[in-house]
Structure 1
């Protein structure tokens, strides 16, 4: 297996759509239309094995200092090989290059994100997310996802992260 992570291209839309729809059908990812994927293709990174798209993830800007990792998924048969972690690394580097210090996600896989340096936090500290997406979500009043956060720059040893920094 020789997996390459790269920026998504318009010709990836159909494969992205199929991958995301598989997760959406299980109720663990929000669906995205082909049109929405095409409009936001520049926010996606993909993992590719040969000619096959096997994973994806995107960054959604929620504010001047906050982005969300969303639509992070791996094709069955490729899970457990570090591909998701590689995609997260690429997305973290992208956030850092954009000068965005905070990266969050809403997930059912908190252990995966914790393994990748994220901390579990209260969803309520992300009003940007609530007013951008959650307001239209069918699970708005009974959300069972877990919020996680990671800073693009590590907090120096001995320093504590204040609520204002989050």
Structure 2
């Protein structure tokens, strides 16, 4: 098996849509329209086995120091093989490159995220998430997802550094 993780391309939209819809139909993930996926394609990473898209995940900026891992999913038959962890590692690296020190997720799979260095926290510490997505969610007042967060050390950009640090 030669799995490759890469940035998503516009040609991936249909496969992304099908993968995410499968999770959404089971109430595990929020649905995304093809139009939204097209607009947000640059936020997605995909896992590919040969010509087949087998996994995806995206980063959504919630603030200057916070991003959310969204739409993290793996095609049946590929689960449990470390592909989700590879996607999380790649998303964490992307957050680091963007200089964002906090990565959060809302999940039903807290053990998976804990295995990948995240810690369970109270959802309420993320008002950015609540006002961005939760206000539109049908589960808003009975949310059963678990919030997780992972801090990463990012190098300060030269714009943020004082002359004494350079």
Query: Which secondary structure does the structure 2 equivalent of 1:48 belong to?
Result: strand
Alpha-carbon distance in 1 for matches of 2:99, 2:48:
27
Aligned to 1:109: 109
Task: Give the superposition deviation at 1:153.
Answer: 2.0
Task: Give the superposition deviation at 1:152.
Answer: 1.4
Uncovered stretches (5+) of structure 1, i.e. residues with no partner = 155-166
Higher Cα Rg, which structure: 2
Map residues 18-37 of structure 1 onto 2, 5 A cutoff: 18-37=18-37
Q: How many residues align?
A: 154
Aligned to 1:140: 140
Aligned to 1:164: none
Aligned to 1:14: 14
* 1:64 maps onto 2:75 in alignment: no
Query: Which secondary structure does the structure 1 equivalent of 2:15 belong to?
Result: helix
Runs (4 or more) in structure 1 with deviation over 3 Å come to none
Aligned to 2:99: 99
How much is the aligned-residue C-alpha RMSD, in angstroms? 0.8
Give TM-score, length-normalised by structure 1: 0.92
Alpha-carbon distance in 2 for matches of 1:36, 1:55:
18
Uncovered stretches (5+) of structure 2, i.e. residues with no partner = 155-166
Map residues 124-163 of structure 1 onto 2, 5 A cutoff: 124-153=124-153
